[in-house]
Structure 1
Amino acid sequence: MTTSCRAALRATVAAAAAIAVSAGLAPAAPAHSTDPGARRAPSTVLDVRGLEQGDPPAIAWSERRSGRTVIHGVGGTRTPVPNRLDQFAPMGSGHVIQTIGAGGATTRWIGADGTPGRREWRTGYGLAVSARGGAVAFAGKAGRVWSIDEDGDRVLSFAPVPITGRGRAVALFGEDCKESATSTGCAVYVNGPTRGFYTSSHGIVDRVPRLRLTSTGRGRWLGGITSLSDTGSCSAMLRSSAVRWRTCDNQLSDISPDDRHVLGTPAYADGFGPGTLDVLATADGAVVRSFTSARNGRSATYFDEVWEDAGHVLVVTYQADRWAVVRLGVDGSMEYAVAPRRGSIDRGAPLQLQTR
């Protein structure tokens, strides 16, 4: 997730938790989880000082330097974008980008040279990207939802979901949202202030089954928050709408390209950024690797946790007044994908990773 996207989800969770607690609906998270995710796993301290330099990211990433922001494409392209870039995803010959201004988020498509498309939308925070990157969806006021496909400038609208305010698009199932002889359409999962819904190209709109809020989805897997309290949250992973496992130790984030693993961030998101990250087995929630904070405080906080490939995760890290993009291996390895650079926390991260 990007920094502001994480903040938006945290605000959504906090608001829903307040409503649930006031209504007496949400039990506090248990002190000790007994689910599979609680089992001890190999751990690596997230101390990213002095790592070796590895290959550059195999996904798109952005960099703000000398007052200018560019997106570095996988093929070596450099696309100029506004400095208030918050999220982006490659699409067609360009990118879908989301920027933050005084009035909230604005979403638009831009070409590889930075030329904007014909339209822009005032939206909620968040882009939902299909598994193979064939479509990107976003949500606006009164539950309105749109998608942009690989043609770049073909925009499709969906039946709105029943929420107030601006929605947050989280997950997109299907690579082509325009139904045809070669496409079955798509479904977009959108969070409102306290509930998650989905809307499909078939015109079907409904509440997300068994989840209060959606946090991730890919293939037949869908994960999200089931209950909230003022001390934490509990989550569940669904496969084909059936609950496969639950946890009160993590909120569920990005699912790996081979569907075998899902990232688990802390169940209670607070402060500048998290210092621990778990890699969970998608099938049963078992923790297969943990990246943990150091007891002496000499470790990093991270943002934008995104799978680079089936065996590696990229994160934007901040430690000792330096920002970097670090490659984390499921085997516990760590290396720089983008070398550290000095920067202040006051201006936010100068490095960002694409949404997947």
Structure 2
Amino acid sequence: MVWSCWAYCWRTWAPTRRSSSAIQPFGGKRSRIFSSQVSIAEHRPYTTRGCRQLYPTAGRLHEAGVVSLCQSLRQAGIRFQQRTIQTVVDWALQAAAADIAAGQHLRIALALYDDRQRKTQEIQALERDIAARLVQTPYVLLLSFPGINVVSAADFAGEAGPIEHYLNAKSITGRAGLRPSRYQSNQVDLASGPLVRNCNHALRAAILGIADNLIVCNHHFQALATQWAAQGKDPRDTRIKVGMRFCRIAFQMVAGRQVFRHPCIQGRHYILDKLTAFHREHDTGMADVLRDLQAAIGQLPPRAYAVEAKPLAEELQRIQDGHRRGPQVLGDILPIVLARLGVGVVQSSESGE
């Protein structure tokens, strides 16, 4: 019953997140058409709403100068390089006059930017909810797989369901239809047709999405893809091969409740460290971060506690030594997580004064 509720939530959230991610109102063709009439729209550092309102034309941009632009960007929390700002100011001096409808285009561009910001916040909220569900299942162990992060692991978990429903990895790939169709007629027997049509297409999409990530972000599978491409293999065949290998490894990890191990890949990623980085990027509240980390620890095999605690202890040491800028609320919950892992906290040395 619990799994059915989670699967329902995943199948509701995952398509919503994918559809929201596919909508890029400020980066799409329509926005570029509108922004082409706005003098500062072509420059990425000035795509914030405040900067567009302060410097709507090339003349205002040139009058502001490098110093004022740098101050505005710092106040907006935007990273920049000063030589880029100088290039933009030089461009503003030679820019053509604004279009007669530049004001209308500016309003449209600002509306598109606001829409993009809202979509970004909605996507982040959905991803936080997805992570909260993932850590309560053994599929969170997939985070130790290099090239897999929270969203892709949650997509696979939501579509696959309880691992106890599968006898082996072939049951997963068979349900996803990762096999060629076969055409037979009289003496004709074609056993290497396109992928079968009758399958769980959502599960297939999740697996092939992970295959794409592994080909790009995992050195082992990237080398295999390069080797197969040199042999003249079809890229579609490469995706299927990588997806099937992932399913074999994932089944051993999730069903066996073990972290990633592979003879051809040295080292693995740290689950709790990935979760911490994910929540830092999504500005998650510390109470929710602590809840998710503790739930993830409950899914870890005890023999992995010491290894998982190492990067967290190093992060806590950096915070205590003052090597992190700004308020570090994470330093308040890391000792709790380390205590749950059975690792003591190393106190930073005090000055001799």
Shorter-chain TM band: under 0.3
| Higher strand fraction (1 or 2) | 1
TM-score by length of structure 1 reads 0.23
Which structure has the larger Rg over C-alpha atoms?
A: 2
TM-score by length of structure 2 reads 0.23
Question: With CA pairs under 8 Å and 6+ residues apart, which has the higher RCO, 1 or 2?
Answer: 1
| Higher helix fraction (1 or 2) | 2
